[in-house]
Structure 1
Amino acid sequence: MSAKRLVVCGGNGFLGSRICKYAVGRGWDVTSISRSGEPKWNAVTESDKPPQWARKVTWERADVLRPVTYAPLLKGADFVVHSLGILLEADYKGVLRGQESPIQGLRKAFSAAPRPGNPLERNVSSSSGQEQKEDIRPPETKDQLTYENMNRDSAIMLAKEAARENVAAFSYISAAGGAPVLPQRYIATKREAERTIASEFPGMRSVFIRAPFLYDSSRPITVAMAGLTGVGAAFNTLSGGIMGRFMGAAGVKPLKADVVAEAVVEALEDDSIKGPVEVKEIEELANKSWRKTML
């Protein structure tokens, strides 16, 4: 039997790299797609050197906002994962050049300006019916990373290309909830992506991992933040969940990034897993995967 083939869009990120690791551990053929290719390892692990498993991953460069750059890489894939998203909107080139501050990005996020509909409604999957795929960013956003184009549109278009290639299962890394400091559009675009993918591509098994706040010792700040989030989750539980709607993900138990990554790989391989996967089920899937390694 040939090895399963997995493509992870955002495979060089904090969670995506760990998904690649656990898939390699199962003997799968793994390809990562990102703008920069291989990760900067000290940004996702505790070392600046690539781990042994990384040599078994094909690190490809492509732009998730331009389907033409990644569509050929999906051919022959059994599973595809979308592990991308943003918490804060910004002109990414402006931020890198120091021309825009995170505060300005936060102002844009709360702006009441009109937002574009999803890319299927805008017919941006092809140019005049040709095979050449367009950039899914509406012209008015230019270099702007928005909740719409990153959290929603990039996932919908990746799912469309995956369905075109008859991929068996597609996993979208969604979120357990929003947060008081984030605009409602953050979680709204996540949920819209889930609904659109499930309804538009029914022939492909879709798995929506509603991840909570993720932490790992390789990023000490996430451990501290997880502690605060854990307090919020405990308070929400003690109060009977009445604050859950307001607190969003801040009132949900945080999980180690490795736990979620292991659960993603297990969910892809388990044909019975479909639709939203909440935090409790994420933990159960990770435990199921761990037990397999102990046999």
Structure 2
Amino acid sequence: MSVKSIAVFGGNGFLGRKICEVGVRLGYNVTAFSRSGKPPSNLPPINVPWINKVKWEAADLLDPSSYSSKLSQYDSVVHSVGMLFENQSYKKVANSNFNALRDAQNLANSLKGSNPMAKDSKLTFEAIQRDSAVLLADAFLEAKGPGLEPAFVYISASQKPPFVPERYLTTKREAEFELACKEGLRVIAMRCSFMTEEHSGPNPRSVLGGLVLLGHSVKQNTIGDSLSYVNNLIRPPVSTEQVARTLYEKLESGYSGIVRDEEIAKK
């Protein structure tokens, strides 16, 4: 049997790099597309073996001409690009070495006082989370041709995190709908809850993940699943490893449709 190939757009991001790592572990030929075309930096040496087995390519997701000619060689494509806020400063804070007071102040400073008229039109929820996914899916379908039904994985979300604008979730749902309407494409929508990274050092994301897990445990031990509103509000966190493993299981099983966070959390 030939080796399977996969293209991960956003492959050097928080989840994307784990999808690449697990793909290498499972024997896939993995190509990671990102704006820089470079592997993630500042990772522990243990990551070097799998990083060296990934092909790193530069591409602009909103410009299909930068990647469309390369898509025919892949069995599957993953769209793992998203954002919680349109001001991208929060990403540097969320994954930095942990200093609670400093990071809280930096995050607050990065999000307050932004001028909507000064925003880059390419860095909106609509552009990044919806339009880029639709453009990528169209280019993939055209590259593969009729009758093949290639697999397209979209990293979605189960709910809107606190303090995050509503458009974060609505644009993901709009993307899910538009992708599902495309004939000849096997779409898998991964509705992830808050994600953490296994074996990571202390940082704002890992601390917040611990609080999310604690909140879910308290809910389960007090009211259980009796209140649907609370169930939708307080979701169990998942690790990037759980998301990546579930993604490949769904790819290899021929599944299409929505994958909910409850199923991901069981992996």
For normalisation by structure 2, the TM-score amounts to 0.81
Match of 1:229? 212
Match of 1:244? 230
Match of 2:97? none
Question: What secondary structure is seen at the aligned counterpart in 2 of 1:186?
Answer: helix
CA distance in 1: counterparts of 2:112 and 2:119, whole angstroms: 18
1:184 paired to 2:193: no
Paired residues for 1:90-169 under 5 Å: 90=87, 101-105=110-114, 108=116, 142-166=120-144, 168-169=150-151
CA distance in 2: counterparts of 1:259 and 1:220, whole angstroms: 20
Q: Please, which runs of 5 or more residues in structure 1 have no aligned partner?
A: 114-139, 287-295
Q: CA deviation at 1:208?
A: 0.4
RMSD value, Cα: 2.5
Q: CA deviation at 1:48?
A: 5.8
How many pairs are equivalent? Answer: 240
Q: Of 205, 226, 237, which aligns to 2:186?
A: 205
> What do the CA deviations read for 1:195-223 (whole angstroms, capped 9, x no partner)?
11001x13111000011111123252222
Q: Of 244, 248, 261, which aligns to 1:265?
A: 248
Percent identity over the alignment is: 37
1:10 paired to 2:10: yes
CA distance in 1: counterparts of 2:111 and 2:79, whole angstroms: 25
Q: Please, which runs of 5 or more residues in structure 2 have no aligned partner?
A: 93-108
Higher mean Cα deviation, 185-194 or 225-234? Answer: 225-234
Q: CA deviation at 1:74?
A: 0.9
Q: CA deviation at 1:244?
A: 3.4
For normalisation by structure 1, the TM-score amounts to 0.74
Question: What secondary structure is seen at the aligned counterpart in 2 of 1:27?
Answer: coil
**Does the CA-based 8 Å contact 2:159-2:232 persist in structure 1?**
no
**Does the CA-based 8 Å contact 1:41-1:50 persist in structure 2?**
no
Q: Of 242, 253, 270, which aligns to 2:236?
A: 253
Match of 2:60? 63
